[in-house]
């Protein structure tokens, strides 16, 4: 009996020593593993699905190479008493983050806000490219031609240019490109409709769509925000007296992929629906996505008598009332340069 008791005591002692050694190793290794910066040179996004367990998240950490063994994270979560507080979502891991800081972020639900930005003056092709490159957006639209894209969106317009409002749109993971575009489309409709109701009187537009076309030209012509209304005034006065708009951005838009960055005299002479040097009035569609300020400028142009403007080379323009004054300004600011 004494021998048995001695054996039991020995086993217990050995077990206690093993436990002590294990605890010591844990206390020494756990901080080293969990507080060491993750080896990454750029921000990474990862997703935690709804209902994911701590073990599942820990295995993600191991698979991504953030910890050598998934059990380290499980143990850390248990020691911190947060094993049952994992929150689903998309999270970001940045250079300098450690596994423990990422775990704290997950427990706090500090998810990464997914967003895509459409920039003022961008074309429809530009924003579709942005959607295709945005993380966690599902591409559903087939880019055969613009009319086909509009049909896929379920919209009645044949041409998409200018119909989507430039802004930053937040979205959830697995949102489709169609969903984001429909939000941008509805926002543009709301903005234009609201601005159209408050428009100045005696404007040369027959519809809000024509105002949108003008706004897109103003957006592309304006280098300084303070000049938007003045540029709008020039174009509005030209329309009112039957003078051609003669604006380069419409010609460039009409050239499409043929434009190589250098607008030639031959391009200005080549007739086409977007050539405002050879044709009077507005082009058939917007040439870009105008922002709120450009829309407001198109509907509230500055009063004055200027009919011409030329770029001064510093982002601003020189405005002239007469062709003679304009030609002199061209010599001064363009030809000499």
Question: What pLDDT does residue 113 have?
Answer: 82
Contacts of 289 (CB under 8 A, 6+ apart): 118, 119, 120, 121, 122, 123, 124, 127, 161, 162, 164, 165, 166, 188, 216, 219
Using 70 as the pLDDT threshold, list the residues of the chain that sit under it.
1-27, 335-337
CATH topology of domain 25-108: Dna Ligase; domain 1 (3.30.1490)
Question: What pLDDT does residue 260 have?
Answer: 85
Enumerate the domain spans of the chain: 25-108, 114-192, 196-335
Longest dimension (CA), the chain: 122
Question: What pLDDT does residue 329 have?
Answer: 86
Question: What pLDDT does residue 72 have?
Answer: 93
Question: What pLDDT does residue 251 have?
Answer: 95
């Amino acid at each position: 009996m004494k021998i048995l008791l001695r054996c039991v005591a020995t086993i217990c002692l050995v077990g206690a020593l093993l436990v002590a050694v294990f605890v010591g190793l844990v206390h020494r290794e756990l901080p080293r593993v969990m507080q060491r910066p993750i080896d990454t040179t750029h921000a990474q996004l990862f997703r935690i699905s709804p209902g994911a367990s701590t073990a599942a998240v820990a295995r993600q950490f191991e698979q991504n190479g953030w910890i050598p063994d998934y059990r380290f994270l499980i143990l850390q979560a248990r020691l911190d008493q947060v094993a049952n507080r994992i929150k689903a979502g998309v999270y970001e891991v940045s250079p300098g983050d450690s596994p423990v800081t990422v775990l704290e972020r997950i427990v706090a639900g500090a998810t990464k806000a997914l967003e895509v930005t459409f920039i003022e003056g961008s074309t429809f092709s530009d924003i579709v490219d942005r959607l295709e490159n945005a993380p966690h957006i599902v591409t559903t639209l087939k880019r055969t031609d613009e009319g086909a894209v509009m049909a896929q969106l379920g919209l009645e317009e044949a041409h998409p240019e200018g119909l989507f409002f430039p802004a930053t749109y937040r979205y959830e993971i697995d949102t489709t490109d169609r969903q984001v575009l429909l939000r941008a489309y509805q926002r543009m409709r709301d903005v234009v409709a609201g601005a159209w109701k408050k428009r100045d009187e005696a404007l040369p537009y027959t519809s809000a769509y024509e105002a949108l076309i003008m706004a897109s030209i103003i957006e592309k012509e304006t280098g300084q925000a303070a000049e938007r209304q003045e540029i709008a005034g020039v174009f509005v006065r030209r329309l009112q007296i039957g003078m051609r708009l003669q604006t380069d951005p419409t010609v460039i838009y009409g050239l499409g992929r043929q434009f190589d960055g250098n607008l030639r005299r031959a391009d200005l002479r080549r007739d086409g629906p977007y050539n405002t040097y050879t044709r009077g009035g507005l082009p058939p569609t917007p040439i870009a996505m105008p922002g709120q300020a450009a829309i407001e400028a198109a509907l509230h142009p500055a009063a004055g008598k200027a009919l011409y403007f030329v770029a001064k080379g510093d982002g601003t323009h020189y405005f002239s009332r007469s062709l003679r004054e304009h030609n002199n300004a061209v010599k001064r600011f363009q030809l000499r340069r």
